[in-house]
């Protein structure tokens, strides 16, 4: 297996059908660690993070923090973020282009340096992803933004003492960005309503409070923040990745043979568990051990279903492509309505190349279950599409070659090695 780069469009070759047997352990959550790393810019003290996955996105965030003046040390799953003594608040296009979450350093850098200049995140294959909610929220915090030549430049004005921000949609990124920035507005009381309540947002709230922030309402849609003058260094352990866990559960339901998935937070995956209840294949979860035992379920009588993605606690859009692969093999007609990223359907044409029968009407995928998929050359357009195609390749008959597969390393730590450990054979070519 060759080493993984950040910008190469590798290929994965999968010969199906295969069986997965053994234990898969879920890593720390990508979407929790990224905003937490961004929030390290609020202090000059050392931040000591544990359960940090080694992902392309984490490396991109390291690059951004280093360009902002941080010094990073990494030992296995531990990441120590230190200050070099200087803060540079101009972040170039290249890392922001790779990963939208990098934009969330804009507010914190503005507070630390009085101004910031950060590239605007570009378009994304899963649909339009603007940052208007971020900029409107930050404006209420006193951060004036000007957009020019693809960069956003800020100017810090004196904020009001009491600020109310109501988000038009419970955006994960906007909630995290505004929340993080508000923590360091000394003496200012900010209330954010219609917040995202994804577990990763709550992890960020817990982290910030441990640094000395004064936030109440964590885990609810109303967050109240009383800004403080200074935040301190902390040690903090990142929550397990619910999307990685969900992906492996779906994989296990298609190709598992005595597969155990460890480090699963079931309280973050109720929506997936109820989807499998409705399909007629409940998830076998051991609460004490926090593990799932899963085996192939296609030979059981299964029900087709109608479902939709929604902000937490609804079904995550980040599992929509993977569950689509599963439903493509469930007899009858299933439907999935995508309400978060309305055009997140680029994996559908690729699944159809593998014999699935799916059509898209507006923001709904209509899936007519087939009894098998067959291997084909396909292309991954984003991280979760890559995971969906890999699962499809494992259950399909014959060879599947997934091009642009490197997307997968943005969100799945050592996926090829983890899968090899449960008996899956994959060939990765850079």
Catalytic center residues: 124
Q: Contact between 319 and ligand UD1 (CB under 6 A)?
A: no
- The nearer residue to ligand UD1, 159 or 411, going by C-beta atoms, is 411
Count of residues engaged in binding ligand UD1, rule: CB under 6 A: 22
Q: How far apart are CA 342 and CA 329, in angstroms?
A: 23
What is the token pair recorded at 298? Answer: 């296609």
The answer to whether the beta carbons of residues 381 and 347 sit under 8 Å apart is: yes
Q: Contact between 174 and ligand UD1 (CB under 6 A)?
A: yes
From 146, 166, 169, 222, residue interacting with ligand UD1 (rule: CB under 6 A):
169
From 122, 130, 187, 332, residue interacting with ligand UD1 (rule: CB under 6 A):
130
The angle at the Cα of 82, spanning 81 to 87, to the nearest 5 degrees, equals 110
Asked whether the CA dihedral 239, 68, 151, 54 is positive or negative, the reply is: negative
- The nearer residue to ligand UD1, 174 or 259, going by C-beta atoms, is 174
> Residue 88: exposed, middle, or buried by beta-carbon count in 10 A (0-12, 13-18, 19+)?
middle
Q: Contact between 41 and ligand UD1 (CB under 6 A)?
A: no
Closest separation in Å from C-beta 16 to ligand UD1:
27
- The nearer residue to ligand UD1, 294 or 380, going by C-beta atoms, is 380
- The nearer residue to ligand UD1, 178 or 302, going by C-beta atoms, is 178
Asked whether the CA dihedral 186, 191, 194, 195 is positive or negative, the reply is: positive
Closest separation in Å from C-beta 225 to ligand UD1:
19
Closest separation in Å from C-beta 338 to ligand UD1:
10
Closest separation in Å from C-beta 130 to ligand UD1:
4
Exposure pattern of 54-86 as b/e (b: 16+ CB <10 Å)? bbbbbbbbbbbbeebbbebeeeebebbbbbeee
Q: Contact between 386 and ligand UD1 (CB under 6 A)?
A: no
Closest separation in Å from C-beta 84 to ligand UD1:
25
Q: Interaction with ligand UD1 in 198-217: which residues (CB under 6 A)?
A: 200
Q: How far apart are CA 373 and CA 139, in angstroms?
A: 50
Closest separation in Å from C-beta 414 to ligand UD1:
19
Q: Helix axis angle, 106-113 relative to 172-182, nearest 10°?
A: 20
Asked whether the CA dihedral 370, 350, 419, 264 is positive or negative, the reply is: negative
Q: How far apart are CA 81 and CA 371, in angstroms?
A: 50
Q: Interaction with ligand UD1 in 90-129: which residues (CB under 6 A)?
A: 100-101, 128-129
Q: How far apart are CA 381 and CA 385, in angstroms?
A: 6
Give the containing element (helix H, strand E) for 181.
helix 172-182
- The nearer residue to ligand UD1, 60 or 190, going by C-beta atoms, is 60
From 62, 64, 172, 234, residue interacting with ligand UD1 (rule: CB under 6 A):
172
From 4, 20, 24, 34, residue interacting with ligand UD1 (rule: CB under 6 A):
34
Question: Among 43, 14, 74, which Cα is nearest to 395's?
Answer: 14
Q: How far apart are CA 104 and CA 176, in angstroms?
A: 8
Residue with the CB atom nearest ligand UD1 in the bound state: 173
Q: Contact between 139 and ligand UD1 (CB under 6 A)?
A: no
Q: Interaction with ligand UD1 in 390-409: which residues (CB under 6 A)?
A: none
- The nearer residue to ligand UD1, 30 or 117, going by C-beta atoms, is 30
The answer to whether the beta carbons of residues 324 and 338 sit under 8 Å apart is: no
* Pattern 334-353, ligand UD1, x by CB under 6 A: ------xx------------
Q: Contact between 321 and ligand UD1 (CB under 6 A)?
A: no
CB count in 10 Å sphere of residue 229? 9
Closest separation in Å from C-beta 85 to ligand UD1:
29
- The nearer residue to ligand UD1, 43 or 317, going by C-beta atoms, is 317
Question: Among 262, 294, 260, which Cα is nearest to 276's?
Answer: 294
From 69, 173, 252, 393, residue interacting with ligand UD1 (rule: CB under 6 A):
173
Residue appearing with tokens 């709230």: 205
From 81, 118, 133, 396, residue interacting with ligand UD1 (rule: CB under 6 A):
133
What is the token pair recorded at 325? Answer: 């692969």
The answer to whether the beta carbons of residues 286 and 293 sit under 8 Å apart is: yes
- The nearer residue to ligand UD1, 297 or 309, going by C-beta atoms, is 309
- The nearer residue to ligand UD1, 116 or 422, going by C-beta atoms, is 116
Closest separation in Å from C-beta 362 to ligand UD1:
15
Closest separation in Å from C-beta 57 to ligand UD1:
8
Report the relative pairing of strands 291-294 and 284-286 from DSSP bridges: antiparallel
Which residues form the interface with ligand UD1 (CB under 6 A)? 31, 34, 100-101, 128-134, 169, 171-174, 196, 200, 317-318, 340-341
């Amino acid at each position: 297996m060759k080493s993984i780069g950040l910008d190469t469009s590798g290929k994965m070759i999968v010969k199906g059908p295969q069986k997965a047997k053994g234990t898969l352990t879920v890593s720390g959550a990508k979407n929790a660690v990224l905003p937490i790393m961004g929030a390290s810019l609020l202090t000059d003290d050392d931040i000591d993070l544990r359960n940090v996955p080694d992902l392309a996105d984490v490396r991109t965030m390291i690059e951004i923090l280093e360009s902002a003046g941080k010094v990073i040390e990494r030992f296995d799953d531990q990441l120590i973020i230190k200050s070099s003594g200087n803060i540079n608040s101009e972040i170039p296009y290249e890392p922001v282009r790779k990963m939208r979450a990098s934009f969330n350093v804009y507010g914190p850098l503005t507070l630390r340096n009085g101004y910031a200049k950060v590239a605007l995140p570009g378009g994304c294959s899963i649909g339009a992803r603007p940052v208007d909610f971020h900029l409107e929220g930050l404006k209420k915090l006193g951060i004036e933004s000007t957009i020019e030549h693809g960069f956003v430049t800020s100017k810090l004005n004196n904020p009001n003492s009491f600020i109310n921000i109501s988000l038009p949609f419970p955006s994960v990124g906007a909630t995290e960005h505004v929340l993080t920035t508000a923590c360091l507005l000394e003496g200012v009381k900010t209330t954010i309503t219609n917040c995202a309540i994804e577990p990763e947002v709550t992890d960020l709230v817990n982290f910030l409070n441990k640094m000395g922030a004064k936030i109440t309402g964590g885990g609810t849609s109303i967050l109240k923040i009383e800004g403080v003058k200074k935040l301190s260094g902390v040690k903090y352990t990142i929550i397990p990745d619910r999307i990685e866990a969900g992906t492996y559960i779906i994989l296990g339901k298609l190709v598992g043979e005595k597969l155990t998935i460890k480090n699963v937070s079931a309280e973050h995956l109720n929506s997936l568990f109820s989807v499998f209840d409705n399909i007629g294949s409940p998830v076998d979860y051991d609460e004490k051990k926090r593990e799932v035992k899963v085996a192939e379920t296609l030979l059981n009588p299964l029900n087709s279903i109608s479902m939709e993605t929604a902000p937490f606690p609804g079904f995550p859009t980040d599992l929509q492509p993977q569950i689509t692969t599963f439903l493509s093999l469930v007899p009858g007609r299933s439907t999935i309505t995508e309400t978060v990223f309305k055009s997140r359907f680029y994996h559908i044409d690729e699944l159809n190349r593998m014999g699935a029968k799916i059509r898209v009407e507006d923001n709904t995928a209509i899936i007519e279950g087939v009894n098998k998929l067959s291997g084909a050359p396909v292309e991954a357009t984003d991280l979760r599409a890559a995971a969906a195609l890999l699962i499809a390749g494992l259950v399909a008959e014959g060879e599947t070659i997934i091009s642009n597969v490197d997307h997968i390393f943005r969100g799945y730590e050592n996926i090829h090695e983890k899968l090899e450990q449960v008996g899956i054979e994959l060939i990765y070519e850079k």
